[in-house]
Amino acid sequence: MMNEEKLMELIEEKKIDQNNQNGNEEAELIETERVPKRRKGKMRYRVGIIGGGSWATAIAKILSENLKHINWWVREPEIEEGISKYGHNPLYLSSVHFNHGDVKMNHNLKYVITKSDYIVIVTPSAFLYETFSTLPKGVFKRKKIISAVKGIIPETNQLITDYFREHFEVPLSNMSLISGPSHAEEIAQERLTFLTAASANPELAELVAKFFKSRYVRTTTSNDMMGIELSVVLKNIYALGAGIYSGLGFGDNFLAAYIANCVKEADGFVNHLYPKADRNGSLSVYLGDLLVTCYSPHSRNRLFGKMIGQGFSVRTAQIEMQMIAEGYYALHCIHLLSKQVEYPLPIVETLHGILYDRNSVAVEMNRMAEHFL
């Protein structure tokens, strides 16, 4: 009797063949190869990765162990050359090695999308709009989107799924996300990590979970895609505050109380925007992700906040880090959203006043602390 995995692969192959026959005009111009037969131990789905940073490199490491056919787009030519010629990303997670042929690098974004049926988006939210703004609206037709973005798009003030639904008409059933407490540095070291694949389409969520499952990554599924996506945005914001308090000299006892108040605020906001009776905020994809982002030395958002607490200006902190702190850009977006839906977020508002209105760091953070429970 045919096992489930083999059956899914055959169904997917049939879909790919039908799509090619039914006339995706761009694919007809570019596509010159058929999908190669499955290599032993690897699935043969065609997956594209968009992005070249630490998180993208960690994801490429996981997927290259599970999948035969991976196309990878990066903006920086030195990254493309480094991976193609020398098997590692020279700018991010350079310890991760890729065997020749594990991934196919290409600097043409449209080509990578056309050659792939599943598109993993790992572009930092601050650059996402610019990256995709020149693409035609139909470029994602019949494609499945897997968002691994940990932020919100500043130019449109939209979550990633909302952006692709509105600007590229990707149906919700063709979108998913992968999330959880997962610093790229620990994945590079193959330290045990738990990820959740979420989608309104349960079959897609199950397949994405299989893409990411490995001996050092455990995966589960969820249908709470919007709730998880918003939670990811909020946890980066709250990690800014954790870093600021650390920079001001507050200790672990206080930080635990701060995070508890963040949980309360975040849960209320998520449930207000996306009511869901069976949502369990104590799961790792919600609470675990918040905790690791607030506590871990790998956290960019915590580091950014700590520098602010130590007296750095926003601009200086950004220059010193040389990496994107998603929470900084998300902070203004969530500030605007909370005003729009008339839902108060006192912690968010305090942080926004410090980072965008230049309010006194010590005065505002101490004032906020007086109201914690």
Tell me the per-residue pLDDT of 63-99, one tens digit each, with 9 for 90 and over. Answer: 999 999 999 999 999 999 999 999 999 999 999 999 9
43 has pLDDT over 90: yes
DSSP conformation class of 16: H
Domains of the chain from N-terminus onward? 4-223 (3.40.50.720), 228-369 (1.10.1040.10)
Strand partners, 178: 197
Q: What is the pLDDT of residue 37?
A: 39
Q: What integer is the mean pLDDT of 33-60?
A: 79
Give me the amino acid identity at 55: W
Given this model, what pLDDT does residue 31 score? 31
* Average pLDDT, rounded, for the chain: 90
Chain-centroid distance, C-alpha 144: 15
State the pTM of this model.
0.87
Question: Does the pLDDT of residue 22 top 80, yes or no?
Answer: no
Is the Cα dihedral 210, 17, 161, 147 positive or negative? positive
> Residue 295 pLDDT > 60, yes or no?
yes
Q: What is the dihedral of CA 163, 346, 354, 150, to 10 degrees?
A: -30
Distance between first and last Cα of the chain: 58
Longest dimension (CA), the chain: 68
Q: At 324, is the pLDDT very low, low, confident or very high (cuts 50, 70, 90)?
A: confident
Q: Give the pLDDT of residue 1.
A: 43
How far apart (Å, rounded) are the C-alpha atoms in residues 134 and 169? 15
369 by DSSP, 3-state: which?
A: helix
Provide the 3-class DSSP secondary structure of residue 67.
strand
Q: Compute the distance between CA of residue 202 and CA of residue 225 in angstroms, rounded to an integer.
A: 11
Query: Sign of the C-alpha dihedral, residues 119, 123, 129, 133?
Result: negative
Task: Decide if pLDDT at 12 tops 80.
Answer: no
Reading the block at residue 186, the tokens are 């620990």
pLDDT of residue 40: 56
Distance CA 206, CA 221 (A): 6
> What are the tens digits of pLDDT across the range 108-140?
999 999 999 999 999 999 999 999 999 999 999
Q: What is the pLDDT of residue 134?
A: 92
Share of the chain above pLDDT 90, in %: 87
Q: What is the pLDDT of residue 26?
A: 36
Q: Which residue is listed with tokens 């992968």?
A: 178
What pLDDT sits at residue 4? 45
Q: What is the pLDDT of residue 38?
A: 38
Residue with tokens 């490995």: 214
Q: How far apart are CA 154 and CA 335, in angstroms?
A: 12
Amino acid at 47: V
Calculate mean pLDDT across residues 145-160.
Answer: 96
Q: Is a pLDDT exceeding 60 seen at residue 10? A: no
How many residues are recorded in the chain? 373
Mean pLDDT across 345-366: 97
List, for residues 232-271, the tens digit of each pLDDT value. 999 999 999 999 999 999 999 999 999 999 999 999 999 9
Question: pLDDT tens across 219-236, in order?
Answer: 999 999 999 999 999 999
Question: What does the pLDDT read at residue 7?
Answer: 44
User: Amino acid identity of 212?
Assistant: F
pLDDT at 297 over 80: yes
Residue 355 pLDDT > 50, yes or no? yes
Tokens 């020398």 correspond to what residue? 86
Q: Cα angle vertex 54, ends 51, 55, to 5°?
A: 70
What does the buried/exposed string (b/e) look like for 115-154 if buried means 16 or more CB atoms within 10 Å of the residue's CB?
A: bbbbbbbbbbbbebbebbeeeeeebbeebbbbbbbbbbbb
